[in-house]
Copies of this chain bind each other. A is one copy, B any other.
Amino acid sequence: MFKDNEHQPEGFQLPLKEALDNLKYNAEGLVPAIAQQHDTGEVLMMAWMNRDAIEETLATGRVCYFSRSRGKLWRKGESSGQMQMLKALRIDCDADTLLVSVDQTGPACHTGRRDCFYWKADTASVTIDKTPIIDPKELYKK
């Protein structure tokens, strides 16, 4: 469905239900979702959504993932307090990846760093180049 309509012009529309029926979920029923801060463009993290998580995110305006480790819906911030509010949810050309534009309160990363991508690689090594903005011990106290 996505492929069949990839050359349609701007403004072309399909029902959400049909779109969600045609996402390319993996064997676990999940698609990767990239979270990007809406105003600064920072890529904060990547997590996974199932169909329920996508529908809840669109319905509530608060970003909900599917936690693979806990095997259930994960409303971002429910343990850390660091919520993500939805600005826009996008689907890519192959219908197998989501880009979620969000407004992230505080750190997105469980280490207390603003984003999860704090290891920078070069041809010889990987180096931590970001510092926590909140002590992670404080993050999961609540």
Residues 75-126 of A at the B interface (beta carbon under 8 Å) = 88-95, 97, 99, 109-111, 113, 116-126
A45 within 8 Å of B (CB atoms) = yes
Count of identical protomers in the assembly: 2
Which residues of chain B are within 8 angstroms of A13 by Cβ–Cβ distance? 125-128
A13, A90, A111, A113: residue with the most chain B Cβ atoms closer than 10 Å: A90
Q: Which residue of the partner chain, among B5, B40, B43, B92, contacts A117 with CB atoms under 8 Å?
A: B92
Interface size class of A (residues with CB under 8 A): 35 or more
Given A99-B43, A128-B8, A128-B10, A121:B16 Cβ within 8 A: yes
Known A111-B7, A128-B10: A119·B136 in contact at CB below 8 Å: no
Instruction: Decide if B45 touches A42 in the complex (CB within 8 Å).
Output: no
- List A residues 6-41 near B (Cβ within 8 Å): 6-16, 19, 32, 34, 36, 40-41
Question: Are A116 and B128 neighbours in the complex by a CB distance under 8 Å?
Answer: no
Given A12-B127, A16-B123, A19-B121, 18 additional A-B pairs, CB 8 A: A5-B128, A7-B111, A10-B128, A13-B125, A14-B126, A15-B124, A15-B125, A16-B122, A16-B124, A36-B41, A40-B41, A45-B92, A58-B121, A58-B123, A59-B123, A90-B117, A94-B116, A99-B117
